[in-house]
Structure 1
């Protein structure tokens, strides 16, 4: 098999061929390093690369096979870690000049598990400064470009991961998601991103009890996302919210009969402005789901206060984590992060308590709604990829966006609920820009979301369309 063909295989196909000795881990690594050398200068997705370490890891993986060692589910697969996630011995900058030379001395739990499952960490993927916003640019490494149109944004904050997958530079990649950062770049790059239930993928975090930010998998297919999730999910005593179920549940077959399953189609989340190109593509998903036997009805839960409570709790969390840093390094922090911290510092205990109460009411309203509907489908974002030269959209359909995250409401309304959600390729605008559909499941039904996403993908096959930078 030629090197350029290896990179176009799915993660499962590569892993199977390595296990059967039809491909060596060394061949797989050489192919992906060649692809990175060829494509990455155009898109700027992988911003730290350790090729010698990568090849040493591949040779060690081949030696393990020769010895007859037990092999993990990700054995021999190249991957790179989002530049927000600590990686032992590998520069981790958080996209900030303050940390441009930061080299952690330990791995995050997700990195530990990725390595233990046999994957080989070769570098880091780009992210916005401190992961703030869904447009991947920062003063350390610059912007990551959309491979379907390099004049457009790739989204974020896991933008480097999304582009690396779309460009066949990696078969799997990790990310984080507070307001949409696993779903948005998947949506903008025609790959799959999955926001798991909080605690599904345990993490050590400054706010360890928070259920807003999660870590999770991205890949080019739903099956590969499930494979990756099977390795990184599961309980860990270092995370107080970790879910007790083993990650092995995600290794089970995803096939399911969806005949008669009721799904709520929510075109605009109760009145949000949605770009017409996005709206028409999301509407097309209804026919795909109906072809699977689903009963799809246009119905919307009560999203009252979803915007207010998210912004209060996001600002409170940002201030809790970044306030001291702002005191010392104000000139080195971007204005939107400064604004979040300062907004958080103005909040009172009553403000935060009221937001938590609103969030609880919101959860129960949607929980009751989903007693009727097993899944909800809706836009991932309200706009398609926008010009890379602007920081964020300032209006949609003539409606002014008050903040840098307002165009992401269709994502962060779901974050506040803590429900599992996937972004799956759904279509392309007339300009050839990718658009994904967001599939949201019931509380802790991560596996069900992946099953529906897999069924949708098997019919639509939109994810097979390659980006222009690959020629």
Structure 2
């Protein structure tokens, strides 16, 4: 039966409205400025995608529909008056449920955090900067308990699946944010990265993830994992990440370890050349005992060749660093012990068993063990500083595998028990505090995303973003959107709160 012109026109309008959720933040701002579409139209489309993302992957702890629409209406009035509040006025944003967000409890994936006691009267620095710039907060996204591991499942909110295959993990610990961005539930998301927690889920979910130089984005309250933990963007592409960085790098007095003011704009820095950059490609980071999946190696190698075609001077070179995993464990497990130190025996029984186990190990470390790990960290930073005197960028796979079964910490049959066994290319650069980005460069035989990692010297954030942007502009990065329909997902926790 043929559709009437009115029915066809209605379906076209619905499709066009839904398509607004596919726009980048840069495109949305341009559309608001020209009057092509409004923040209210966009937020309606994004909220529909958020509900679909929740049904497909369990990406959200909370979806704040009423608050988002109220903020969108206020943004629309500002744009009509020609007075936008800032760089991302009206742009939908999601926030990992480790970062304080005013008016919303931050539950951290844990039954040991009572909603009535959770802080809800202030914003974390990056959230505050986004609010000042008029962003529309769609909801809080999932994290493993206190962000302790590189997959996203928690006792309180269950398992977050991968947008390309919900039976697989989204990665972590910013898995909910990565899944939300991939599925069109807002082009911008705030994550945290203590050992790969922005880059791993971005790689698994086919989006862009960026860990800035430590201190470039202020952080408050301080992470229990200390200066390993960074705040960073999860976005559709490098241009959106640069826009977000221009917002969230604003100073905040609450972080005593923040860096000085940024000079220039990250967006303007995207325009610089890639030709002539000195690029080292290390396909294994010196780890001959840990195989990289052949399809991962192939896709990453293709991205490296594209950098060479763009004029970068590429050679295969390894920084010659020893694997710092034992020192990382000392710092990470010690942070976990400090994190749960105040809990009584009954509360500890509520914890993720893996978190309970590593916190017990961490409690057995001495101050001398900690200082020895700090020495390893300093030596690693020195070695990478020397390496970057020769090379502008280091390129590696982001993760040597693609997404594995959801609800597990390690791939089936792995010879290791902890998540650090399959993230050898990410946690070393939390130790050194260097900027590092991941961008999608291909898929495996099952259609699961593969990421390539670009690492710069400390403070070379703009250079990393520039190189990543060049790969997007050259068509060497980015993937088709995953399917968005509801799909069977692993057992999850309660539905997200909100109205």
Structure 1 and Structure 2 fold alike (TM over 0.5): yes
Q: Against the structure 1 CA distance between its residues 267 and 96, is the aligned structure 2 distance closer, same or farther, given a 3 Å change threshold? A: same
Deviation at 1:402, TM superposition (A): 4.1
1:336 aligns with 2:336: no
Change (3 A) 1:50 1:248: farther
RMSD of aligned alpha carbons? 1.9
Select the residue among 272, 275, 278 that pairs with 1:262.
Answer: 278
Tell me by how many angstroms 1:65 deviates: 2.5
1:312: which partner in 2? Answer: 330
Q: How far, CA to CA, are the matches of 1:75 and 1:224 in structure 2?
A: 14
Q: Tell me how far apart the structure 1 counterparts of residues 195 and 150 of structure 2 sit (CA, whole Å).
A: 8
Is 1:293 aligned to 2:293, yes or no? no
Question: How far is the alpha carbon of 1:331 from its aligned partner?
Answer: 0.7
Note the C-alpha offset of 1:317.
2.0
Tell me, yes or no, if the aligned pair for 1:100 and 1:140 is still in contact at 8 Å: no
Which piece of structure 1 moves more, 249-258 or 444-453?
A: 249-258
Q: Measure, in 2, the Cα distance between the counterparts of 1:294 and 1:65.
A: 41
CA contact (8 A) 1:393 1:401 kept: no
Question: Residue 274 of structure 1 corresponds to which residue in structure 2?
Answer: 292
In 2, Cα distance between the equivalents of 1:209 and 1:47?
23
Higher RCO (Cα < 8 Å, 6 or more apart): 2
Shift of the 328–107 alpha-carbon distance from structure 1 to 2, 3 Å rule, reads farther
What is the 5 A alignment of 1:20-59?
20-59=34-73
Deviations 1:118-142 (A, max 9, x none): 1011211111111111111112221
Once the 2 structures are TM-superposed, how far is the Cα of residue 208 of structure 1 from its aligned partner? 8.7
Distance 1:46 1:100 in 2: 18
- Per-residue CA deviations over 1:332-370 (Å, capped at 9, x if unaligned) read 111211122112211111111111111111111111111
- Number of aligned residue pairs: 468
Instruction: Tell me if the contact between 1:188 and 1:436 (Cα under 8 Å) persists in the aligned partners.
Output: yes
The structural deviation recorded for 1:375 is: 0.3
Aligned equivalent of 1:175: 191
Distance in 1 separating the partners of 2:305 and 2:335: 40
Q: 1:349 aligns with which of 364, 367, 374?
A: 367
Shift of 1:280: 2.1
On the 8 A contact 1:78/1:119 being kept in 2, the answer is yes
Match of 1:86 in 2: 100
Indicate whether 1:241 and 2:220 are aligned.
no
User: What is the CA distance between 1:469 and its match in structure 2?
Assistant: 2.9
User: 1:167 touches 1:470 (CA, 8 Å); kept in 2?
Assistant: no
List per-residue Cα deviations over 1:50-98 (Å, max 9, x = no partner).
1111111111111223344343000001112111111111132101112
Paired with 2:343 and 2:473, the residues of 1 have a C-alpha distance of 47
Equivalent residue, structure 1, for 2:153: 137
8 Å CA contact 2:246, 2:265 repeated in 1: yes
Query: What corresponds to 1:211 in structure 2?
Result: 227
Deviations 1:153-205 (A, max 9, x none): 11111111101111011111110000101101110111000000111110113
Q: Tell me, yes or no, if the aligned pair for 1:234 and 1:247 is still in contact at 8 Å.
A: no
Aligned mates of 1:122, 1:260 — CA distance in 2: 41
Residues 393, 404 of structure 1: 8 Å contact kept: no
Moved more, 273-282 or 180-189: 273-282
> What runs of 5+ residues in structure 1 fail to find an aligned partner?
none
Q: Is the 8 A contact 2:101 2:123 kept in 1?
A: yes
Q: Does 1:443 align with 2:461?
A: no
User: Could you say which residue in structure 2 is the equivalent of 1:149?
Assistant: 165
Distance 1:450 1:129 in 2: 30
Q: Distance in 2 between matches of 1:246 and 1:326?
A: 43
Return the match for 1:18 from 32, 43, 60.
32
1:9 matches 2:27: no
Q: Tell me the distance in 2 between the aligned counterparts of 1:460 and 1:231.
A: 27
Q: Distance in 1 between matches of 2:344 and 2:298?
A: 43
Q: Is the 8 A contact 1:50 1:122 kept in 2?
A: yes
Match of 1:223 in 2: 239
- 2: distance between equivalents of 1:134 and 1:460? 29
Select between 140-149 and 61-70 the one with higher mean Cα deviation.
61-70
Distance 2:127 2:148 in 1: 22
**Aligned counterparts of 1:173 and 1:352: Cα–Cα separation in 2:** 33
CA distance in 1, matches of 2:52, 2:322: 48
Counterpart check, 1:367 vs 2:382: no
Secondary structure at the aligned position of 2:408 is classed as coil
SS in 1 for 2:139: strand
Equivalent-residue separation in structure 2 for 1:262 and 1:247 (angstroms): 24
Following TM superposition, by how much is the alpha carbon of 1:470 offset from its aligned partner in structure 2, in angstroms?
Answer: 5.7
Q: CA deviation at 1:253?
A: 4.4
TM-score w.r.t. the length of structure 1 is: 0.95
Separation of aligned partners in 2, 1:138 and 1:167: 21
Contact preservation (8 Å) 2:39, 2:72: yes
- The 2-side partners of 1:247 and 1:9 are apart by 28
Q: Decide whether aligned partners of structure 1 residues 4 and 300 sit closer, same or farther in structure 2, where only a CA change above 3 A counts.
A: same
Gaps in structure 2 of 5+ consecutive residues: 1-12, 487-499
Scaled by the length of structure 2, the TM-score of the pair is 0.90
**How far apart are the structure 1 equivalents of 2:484 and 2:22?**
14
Q: Encode CA deviations 1:286-334: one digit per residue, 9 max, x unaligned.
A: 2111111112111111222511211111122222232223656111111
